[in-house]
Amino acid sequence: MCNTKRIPLLEVCVDSVESALAAEAGGADRVELCDNLVEGGTTPSAGAIKAARERLSIKLHVIIRPRGGDFLYSDIELDVMKRDILTAKDLGADGVVIGVLNADGTIDRDHTRELVEIARPMSVTFHRAFDMTRDPFEALETLVDLGVDRILTSGQEPVAEKGVELIGELVERAGERITIMACGEIREGNVREVVQRTGVSEIHATGFVSRESAMAFRNERVYMGGADLKAEYSIKVTSAEKVAALRGAIEQ
């Protein structure tokens, strides 16, 4: 499969307002704003959404995920998700990113439909919970039926390069009914291959680099996260240069 007619849209996943602005400076078409990317991304604060919206001129999508772990949610967690969607809408987000499954690995139709209805007129992406479904083609048809706008997927593999066959099949089956957005360790060096082998019209990636903390005093006895002093004083931020390199590779 080959996509030569149009340049794919680039969505950059970020976990701070600073990184969102760097993604825009590097040429991103849209950002997905998250918190807690070490858990795969959870819902960012209202303050982060508002600050990002006030500063960005590109589209802003917000992940709606109350915790890390699986995508089988309690009634309380679903209530939180509904409230977070309304908050994102009130703060001017262009879209939300959701994912709810049943225990048997199928899409939770009823709750997904409810979340989509609450989200409108914002755009709705179904995130990589899709990659945890038991049958990707069944899940595709369910999401089409529910009116979801796009699916984020690595082809049910750890990285997009390993999932290109399934991603390409999803693109073919989806047609114009729903957008398939590829993700999973997509970088400057492999993005063209992923696009050419799948035909996707949207790419989801990151552009992180590590920045040393400016703290002069460091208490080496205490750790806020894992017991790794280097990680404690190293901050991951999006690099406008890395995003620009990815953008350039897409446009080649």
CA–CA distances in Å: residue 77 to residues 64, 69, 109, 124, 157: 11, 13, 16, 19, 27
- Residues 213 and 235 sit within 8 Å (Cβ to Cβ): yes
Give this prediction's pTM.
0.94
The predicted-structure confidence for 82-118, as pLDDT tens digits, reads as follows: 999 999 999 999 999 999 999 999 999 999 999 999 9
Handedness of CA 211, 248, 158, 142 (dihedral sign): positive
Euclidean distance between CA atoms 202 and 195, whole angstroms: 9
Euclidean distance between CA atoms 205 and 225, whole angstroms: 25
SS3 204: strand
Structural domains of the chain in order of their starting residue, each with its CATH number: 9-251 (3.20.20.380)
Q: Which residues in the chain land under pLDDT 50?
A: 1-4
Residue type, 87: T
pLDDT the model gives residue 2:
40
